[in-house]
Structure 1
Amino acid sequence: MMIHRRSLIASVAVTAALPRMSIASESPHWQRRAEMPWATQEIYCAVLDGKVYVAGGLIRDVVGTRINDRMGIYYPAHDSWAEGTRLPQPRHHPMLAAARGRVWAFGGYDRREGGEWTSMTDYWALDGDVWHPVGQMPEPLAETVGVTVGDHVHLVTGRSPLGGKNGQWNDQGDVATHLVFDASNNSWTTARPAPEARNSAAGAVYGGHIYIAGGRMVEGGRGTGRLDRYDPQSDQWDTLSPVPVSDTGNQVGGGLAMATVGDRLVAFGGEWLARPGGVFTETWIYDIAADRWTRGPDMGVPRHGLAGCSVDGVIYAIAGGEVYSGGKASGVVEALRL
């Protein structure tokens, strides 16, 4: 059978164009995943054995805003959720981290006589499906960044009581504190403080170095886009290129999340409080080798106070607040594969 030359050329041209068309249609974007079974915000997460653990937070229902003690376990391989053992006590802003084959929960806020922003120092370890009280942190520290390097969990920046009072939000102040927990022997040390005090920043680890991005200063409620890097070997900090300013004209502030994928950091979410206030929709991707941020795909549902992590090269944005200052908790989960 003979094929006309012009038809053959046209066929080859169409076939050659197909891969490019396919690539264009598959540009990275956030995709919805199975929602968390309940809406919550002001949370963090830990990844262990391919599973994502989320616990505590603030929930809002017909009664009002309440402090949560529930734990959810997300299975990325099956895109499904299960409910785990509840925390020993309700907590919002409890810092979760994985080290030495266990999930740990550090501090956070609880309701006591002074108010529902009482900074707690107890920390717990999850063994199987049981939370065990382990001890007390050296000092109260909440709205902190928690990252793991080897057997050590680093808690950096955040808020601590300024004086004798510890119960209301205004009783707490921004700190540059840097606590280090050794999960191998249940001991604490202090390391060089962060270059700037702030709260509600985000952290990630690459090449044994700790990266702290964003955060907020209580004074004036302003955000910072600064990116600081810590070397545990030398106990030294250096400062890198800051996260760019949002399309809104506001600087990325408190309540963002960040995770490592390959040789890049991915930061997303957060809120600004300057009137009229709002939640950031942007995703920012940091090229570690080039010290350069570029714009990534916008989140489908902007959130702050959300949990963020990476599992097998996929970034997950979990729950959080859909409006600034805690007005609407969410159970939305989105995934991004770059």
Structure 2
Amino acid sequence: MLLASGPAVLAQDAADGGHWEETARLDAPRAGLAVVVHDGRIFAAGGSGLTSPRDEFESYDPGYERWFPETPLPRGLEHFGMAATGERIYAAGGYAADETAVVGPSARMWSFSIEGNIWQSEAAMPAPKADFSLVAVEGQLYAIGGLRDDASVFVFDPETSEWSTLEAPEGITRRGTAAAVIDGRVHVLGGATAEGAVDRHDVFDPQSGEWTAGPALPGGRSGLAAVVRGGRIHVFGGRAADGGATLQDHLSWAPGESSWRQEAGMPSPRTGADAALLDGDIYLVGGGSGGGFFAPFTAIGTTDVFRGLQD
């Protein structure tokens, strides 16, 4: 692993004073990974390998500005869902690896205990999902999206260790989306259907069970990353609507606004990355400059940080 010798400013300040810096690299470059924040650290897991999904599990400590190895995933995983709630980190679904082949999509789920430093098996989802989002809302986990439109959202209750299924409107379950939570509502962004990437912005209220539409993204995209900072959703990169270009743009939106605004663009194009908020800064981790089959061959190990004034 590499220890950063000091942050390098990679992009000019945005209108709100934000700018990009580079910090420590992952132990191994990879796209299709997942990250979460827990206990003051960022945890990064899995991702695409050259022959099979990877099982790396690392944590980033901002005090040391470096990544540290953690107990590996029980199986290599890519394009899976990961979320933290309570004292545990949950990893579900995705494409999984065994000793001889890639098998997936998977329905299995595991949880990681920080205190015990161990992964344990949890109840499997009602059906397999891959290339979907897993988010935590008021202690419940919501699995939204996936490779095909199965018109369903899976909900896990950690207290009972049981899953339930909610019906979703047509087109909600699509692959390559990003999801973010603001004021208890889940925003499902972008993604792709059989016709290509879409600019959709769907909003789910778990309290009422209702779905509404938010302002569309400025162009279809899939494989994007999203995170919330200061009441705004920030969206990063992905693949363009025709699948022919990896995007470098950085957008943001807040409830009440009618459209998305441009922010300081990423230092380089990325798709299949993930993002996390830690101590007011946005960390963009992993990803690749090419999608699909090319993801493992164009994987990025860089961790870029968007710092500056709050939104």
- Could you say which residue in structure 2 is the equivalent of 1:207? 183
Of 204, 223, 227, the residue aligned with 1:259 is 227
Letter in structure 2 aligned against 1:67: P
Q: Match for 2:46 among 53, 56, 59? A: 56
Return closer, same or farther for 1:243/1:76 CA change in 2, 3 Å cut-off.
farther
**Normalized against structure 1, the TM-score is what?**
0.80
Seen in structure 2, the aligned counterparts of structure 1 residues 257 and 176 have a Cα distance that, compared at 3 Å, is: farther
Aligned length: 290
Same amino acid, percent of matched pairs: 28
Structure 1, unpaired ranges of 5+: 1-22, 160-172, 246-250
Q: Which runs of 5+ in 2 are unaligned?
A: 1-12
1:109/1:27 Cα in 2 relative to 1: closer, same or farther (>3 Å)? same
Q: Deviations over 1:207-245 (max 9, x none)?
A: 11111111111x24x111111111111000100111113
Provide Cα deviations, 1:56-79, integer angstroms capped at 9, x if missing partner.
Answer: 11123xxxx332111111123432
What SS class does the counterpart of residue 167 from structure 2 fall into? coil
Residue 300 of structure 2, aligned match among 330, 335, 338: 330
Q: Is 2:143 the counterpart of 1:155?
A: yes
What pairs up with 1:86-235 in 2 under 5 angstroms? 86-111=72-97, 116=102, 118-128=104-114, 129-159=117-147, 173-196=148-171, 197-217=173-193, 219-220=194-195, 222-235=196-209
Cα distance in 2 for residues equivalent to 1:123 and 1:109: 12
Amino acid at match of 1:95: G
Q: How far is 1:109 from its partner?
A: 0.9
**Letter aligned with residue 234 of structure 1:** S
* CA shift for structure 1 position 184: 1.9
- 1:285 matched to 2:252? The reply is yes
What is the aligned partner in structure 2 of residue 31 from structure 1?
21
Which one of the candidate residues 62, 66, 71 is aligned to 1:85?
71
Q: Deviations over 1:17-67 (max 9, x none)?
A: xxxxxx99993222111111111111111211121111111123xxxx332
Higher relative contact order (CA 8 A, sep 6+): 2
Q: Taking structure 1 as reference, are residues 229 and 236 closer, same or farther at Cα in structure 2, changes over 3 Å only?
A: same
8 Å CA contact 1:112–1:118 kept in 2: the answer is no
Question: Would the aligned equivalents of 2:197 and 2:242 in 1 still touch at CA under 8 Å?
Answer: no
Contact 1:59 1:329 in 2 (8 A): no
More helix by share: 1
CA contact (8 A) 1:47 1:309 kept: yes
Q: Secondary structure at the match of 1:191?
A: strand
Map Cα deviations across residues 81-102 of structure 1 (whole Å, 9 max, x no partner). Answer: 1010011111112211101210
CA RMSD of aligned residues (A): 2.2
